[in-house]
Structure 1
């Protein structure tokens, strides 16, 4: 769905002349983060940051909490560890959790991969639909459709920018200042947003979040809504030439919607497979650490201290942080996928979030 602002801008019933403040509402911020009003830190943690780095930072947070808290409760913990086998119980439980989690993730991966399998007829239909879409995109842009996903989206974004510039030229001499002002504001906002998205897409490889991020930054559905509103509000002022340009611009923006959704779907599958691979890689050292501590290290066997912190606390904190890495990685991936899915639930000019309505 679109991330653009959707404030009501039609105030002509109160005043036949729209003031500057209402015209400004045609423009929106160029990034999804700015339109949503999120902080850079939250956006980095949930979306932009490398998932392995985010999982590592959460593991360091767990390590810090265990070390800091353990220094205050060490005497109670030492007694409990020596008499109740607390360390062995904790890490034996983590072994079961790791095995269960890996099994679950592998099951999800199998489901994702199974969606790509199918009989010959189904595969032929998928191929035909893809080629039809590419042929239609070629008709709109006047050039062969790029094979690279980022270049494909970039071509549609730049094509919409060209139509916006043409629209501005066709309405430059219009006698209605109100109409000309809104068109100028709309086209300026569109071209600025297109330039930012195109620059972000330039040279990006599929598989990185940057491609999807740039696609989310381009709020095509808000632009479609504005075209529909302008066409309805200024029926008498719009010439046949201007109407034709608006229709072509709307077609390009409407093509961007399904193209973005298709690439987003492919990205989700890519991410889930990457998640499965990374969890498999992290599960082995996590199992080794949990098994080693459970089998060979008991609470009474750990004595002494390092950097002013008892070694028993270090062993428990480091071991627990390492054994939780597969789960933390799952959290980091799901946070990104779920956030993207929530912000793109609807296709077309629908605004689902109250903050943007």
Structure 2
């Protein structure tokens, strides 16, 4: 094997090959703010297109473009509501089941909580997701300090350097993530955001590599400390994935409610524009300013609201999924900071 002290960054924003502002828009930004931005962009584009193209008003009055466009919006909105019902069924299907299935779920949850309690040396594990993740992160930092002390006793410079590289990164990362998880509430993105910034997969890989290369150099206490560290990191993985799954269900429920809420005005506007709006005779001109194009732009924007809400929520869910596809010490991103493992064969 070869040793390489370079490590991927712990923060998702720095590990991902995307700009800081793009990741902020996709992940951190409040979804209501993102929807508002999309609404403003759609309205501005439609309005600017109509105002900058002088024949636009005449084209609207002399064609059936209003009926054609809003009939499409009406059909799409009804289809979108059907999609929402499908999403709700997907979420509900995870919760429905026979009593035996529910008992199995309960048993798995209790066993997991007992494993966490044993690892953090507590009578019971924390009940809140943020507190549980914070406990695992803090305990992993304590285990890393124990490994560092054991490596210092060996007198082996290579082993001490390798352990120092791991523990320095882990302890600093744990402190930052713990601060982010402090007072974080489930249902908000803060819990998942902080958890994504704990690069546990790299640390599991580095711990396994140290165990393979320097396990003979460490004393029994040091090997046990390293095993406890790896075990804690390995437990953080399924914990994060479990809470990520629960958060996705929470977000899909919020998405469904938002789309259903905005589908009502979108349907009403589309029906009004098709059944009652007569673009040929519309002539409201306050202060001598033609308002046909702004009215059409406003109606079109309202009609697209359910889809703008859908885009805003799916962008976050898809981005989180992309960056958490693997569980365990697998690195899917292209990076030069991971040394190759050599084997005989």
Q: 101, 114, 134: which is aligned to 2:93?
A: 114
1:291 aligns with: 271
1:201 aligns with: 181
1:86 aligns with: 65
> Distance in 2 between the 1:50 and 1:290 partners?
28
1:10 aligns with: 2
2:110 aligns with: 131
Matched, 1:95 2:74: yes
1:210 aligns with: 190
Q: 120, 127, 139: which is aligned to 1:141?
A: 120
> Distance in 2 between the 1:79 and 1:315 partners?
15
1:290 Cα deviation (Å)? 1.9
2:187–2:250 contact (8 Å) kept in structure 1: yes
> Distance in 1 between the 2:257 and 2:188 partners?
16
The superposition leaves residues 260-292 of structure 1 with CA deviations (integer Å, 9 ceiling, x where unpaired) of: 111111111111111000111111111222222
> Distance in 1 between the 2:215 and 2:235 partners?
25
Matched, 1:329 2:321: no
The runs of 4+ residues in structure 1 deviating greater than 6 Å are 306-309
Deviates more, 1:332-341 or 1:150-159: 332-341
> Distance in 1 between the 2:12 and 2:287 partners?
45
Counting only pairs closer than 5 Å after superposition, residues 1-357 of structure 1 correspond to structure 2 as 10=2, 22-23=4-5, 25-26=6-7, 28-75=8-55, 77-143=56-122, 144-303=124-283, 310-355=290-335
The superposition leaves residues 122-150 of structure 1 with CA deviations (integer Å, 9 ceiling, x where unpaired) of: 11111111111111111111112011011
In structure 1, the gaps of 5 or more residues are 1-8, 12-21
State TM-score, norm by structure 1.
0.89
> Distance in 2 between the 1:215 and 1:275 partners?
22
State TM-score, norm by structure 2.
0.92
1:30 Cα deviation (Å)? 3.2
1:29 Cα deviation (Å)? 2.5
The superposition leaves residues 177-229 of structure 1 with CA deviations (integer Å, 9 ceiling, x where unpaired) of: 22212211211100111111111111111111111111111111110000111
In structure 2, the gaps of 5 or more residues are 339-345
Greater relative contact order (CA < 8 Å, ≥ 6 in sequence): 1
Tell me how many residue pairs correspond in the alignment: 336
Deviates more, 1:164-173 or 1:113-122: 164-173
1:111 Cα deviation (Å)? 2.2
> Distance in 2 between the 1:293 and 1:355 partners?
53
Describe the shift of the 1:307–1:198 C-alpha distance in structure 2 as closer, same or farther (beyond 3 A).
farther
Query: RMSD of the TM alignment (CA)?
Result: 1.9
